[in-house]
Amino acid sequence: MTTAHHEDRLHAQIAFILEIDKLKRVLRRNLLMDGSRRENDAEHSWYLAMLALVLAEHAEPGVDLGRVVRMLLVHDIVEIDAGDTFIYDVVAVEAQAAAEIAAAERLFGLLPEEQAREFRALWEEFEARETPEARFAKALDRLAPMMANHHNEGGTWALYRVTARQVLEKVALITDGSPRLGAFATDLVETSVARGHLQP
C-alpha cells in the first residue's frame, strides 16, 4: 500500500468521522430518564451499546455481542440526513425507508470502500432483523425509549396519546430478540397503564 493510498484512506476516514459528529445534533422525541431534556441520537446509540453489554445474558445463546455493539453504534447514523422518525407516526414511518437508504449511500459512502461495505452491511442487518444479533439489537432499541417513557410519567406516550395496544405491538419486537426482556417490557406497559401514564 503506497503512502498516497494511506493518505487518501485516512482523509476518507476523517471525513466520515467529522460527518458523524452531526449525530449529536439529531434530537429524538423521548426525554432523558430524569425528564430534563430530549435525548440526541449519539447519546441513544452509546446507551444502547451499554445496554447490550449489561444485558448480554438475556440474548439468545451464541449471540455475537461484539457484532451487536457494532450494529447499535452505526444503526442511527442515517438519521443525520433522514432525521429521527417517531415510531407511532404511521405516515412518517412509510416515508422513512427511502430516506434512510439514500442517507446510507451518502454517509457510509464517505468511507474507504471495504469499510463502507462493512458499515452498510451492519446497518442493513439491523434493519432486516434476520439474525439473532439484529433481533437482540432491535429489542434494545425498542426497550430504551419504553424505559424512558415509563420513568417520565408516560413521556411521549402521554404527549402523543399513544395507547397500550400500540406499545404492545412494539413489545413483540423485543420478545423476538429476547423473551426475558419482552416480559420485562410487558410489565412496564402494564404498570404504566395502572399508574395512568399510558392509555389502555
> Does 152 fall in a domain?
yes
> Does 170 fall in a domain?
yes
> Does 190 fall in a domain?
yes
> Does 200 fall in a domain?
no
Domain tally, the chain: 1
Q: Digits of tens for pLDDT over the chain (200 positions)?
A: 677 777 899 999 999 999 999 999 999 999 999 989 999 999 999 999 999 999 999 999 999 999 999 999 999 999 999 998 877 777 777 778 899 999 999 999 999 999 999 999 999 999 999 999 999 999 999 999 999 999 999 999 998 899 999 999 989 999 999 999 999 999 999 999 999 999 99
| Structural domain that includes position 66 | 3-194
> Does 199 fall in a domain?
no
> Does 177 fall in a domain?
yes
Give the CATH number of the domain where residue 135 resides: 1.10.3210.10
Spatial CA neighbour of 86 closest among 94, 78, 75: 94
pTM of the model: 0.93
Q: Is 50 exposed, middle or buried (0-12, 13-18, 19+ CB in 10 A)?
A: middle
